[in-house]
Amino acid sequence: MAVFRTLLLIAGWCCSLVHAAELVVAVGVQDPAQVAMQGQALPSDMPGFEMVALNEDIAREICRRINARCSVHYVTVAEILPGIESRRFDIGFGNFLRSPERELQVAYSDAIWHSSSRLVGSPAAAKTFAGKLGQAVTLDNLRDARVIAVDGSQQRAFLQRIAGERGLTVIVTPTPVGAINALRDDSADFALLPILNAYALLSRDNPQQLEFVGPAVADRGLGGSVHIVLPKQQDELRRSVNRAIAAIRADGTFQRIVRQYFPLGLN
């Protein structure tokens, strides 16, 4: 028993030497108003609440699993990658798809879910452009339209690439809510958004003014696996985060968090 007590004392002494890591977590907001609500609980009726809450819950669960003390900051998506690169943030949640350009800036965790992109617009705009095009509007045949996308997103990068060829006018907004507002006030014809963000916003659109236009797209960098971003040369942190992701998937925590905000699994 004396030996056991001694071992316990030594173990306790060792544990006291281990300090929890201090990490700064950036969560991409859906609405500019959320940036001003640092440290507060977001109202559940706030547009885009689901995406922010989902990311924040997953971030906090991962922090708990890696024994880190995390401070969560609400920022626009465009700020996250530079913030990670400059080491202002340690972990970034912004529903990031992989791209070669981003690979140069940051490191990626294992996939947390999969996503695609889809046009959103009003039925009237869809009808008008269908008339112009002579067929139902899709991302592949859209021409001469004003299309809005979130700054720093893959959707924006894609639109920039095809804008000249298609005669598109690309409008940039810092958040998905900004894109939806632009559609409502007719400053844009369509928005190209990640499907999950668009769903979260459209499902609150009452009365229904906007709808999905055309089929979803998952190729050309507009879909695929979604990742948490981390600073490069932080392999140990990346491995810890990956272990935490695997753990919360394995014990069902991840699925329970998703089900709090969305009616289906994200895998």
Binding site for other proteins (CB under 8 A): 114-116, 118, 195-196, 199, 202-203, 206, 208, 211-212, 215-218, 223-224, 263-265, 267
Q: Which is nearer to other proteins, 91 or 112 (CB)?
A: 112
Least separation in angstroms between residue 239's CB and other proteins is 19
User: Dihedral (C-alpha) 23, 197, 157, 55: value to the nearest 10 degrees?
Assistant: 10
Q: Which is nearer to other proteins, 23 or 226 (CB)?
A: 226
Residues in the chain, total: 267
Q: Which is nearer to other proteins, 131 or 167 (CB)?
A: 131
b/e code 225-243 from CB counts within 10 Å (16+ = b): ebbbbbbeebeebbebbbe
- Return the DSSP state at 243: H
3-state helix/strand/coil string of 139-177: CCCCCCCEEEEECCCHHHHHHHHHHHHHCCEEEEECCHH
Least separation in angstroms between residue 34's CB and other proteins is 22
Least separation in angstroms between residue 119's CB and other proteins is 11
Q: Which is nearer to other proteins, 16 or 206 (CB)?
A: 206
CA-to-CA dists, residue 122 to 133, 193, 261, angstroms: 16, 14, 25
Q: Which is nearer to other proteins, 116 or 141 (CB)?
A: 116
